Amino acid sequence: MQLDAKAARGELAQVLRAEYLTPARAQQVTGTVSQLVAYYARLPNGQKQLVAVVFQYMQPDGKLGASGIPDPKWLRLPDGAIIAAQSR
């Protein structure tokens, strides 16, 4: 969905919902933080609409860890349908 690119262009607002030091068992670079990020669309009436929530590992150098792609946990599709990831 190119959420980061859309946020960089100002099409979406990015809000950090949670951040914590990634545990060693995740086998990420030391100092990596786990993040839950929400993306919002700006509606014409000035309100915001939630479009996605993703989980990601942010390494100390600012690059995404693991696969390098945020893991979607909740998405609103262009047709308005909502997809939520199953908990493990």
Instruction: Tell if the pTM clears 0.85, that is, is over it.
Output: yes
Alpha helices in 1-88 (DSSP H): 3-8
Residue 2's pLDDT is what? Answer: 85
Residues 6+ apart with CB under 8 A from 53: 17, 36, 37, 38, 39, 72, 73, 74
Q: What are phi and psi of 3, to 5 degrees?
A: -60, -45
Residue 88 and residue 82 in contact, taking contact as beta carbons nearer than 8 Å: no
Q: Is the dihedral of CA 61, 59, 69, 9 positive or negative?
A: negative
Query: What tens-digit pLDDT sequence spans the chain (88 residues)?
Result: 788 889 999 999 999 999 999 999 999 999 999 999 999 998 999 899 999 999 999 999 999 999 999 999 999 988 888 899 865 5
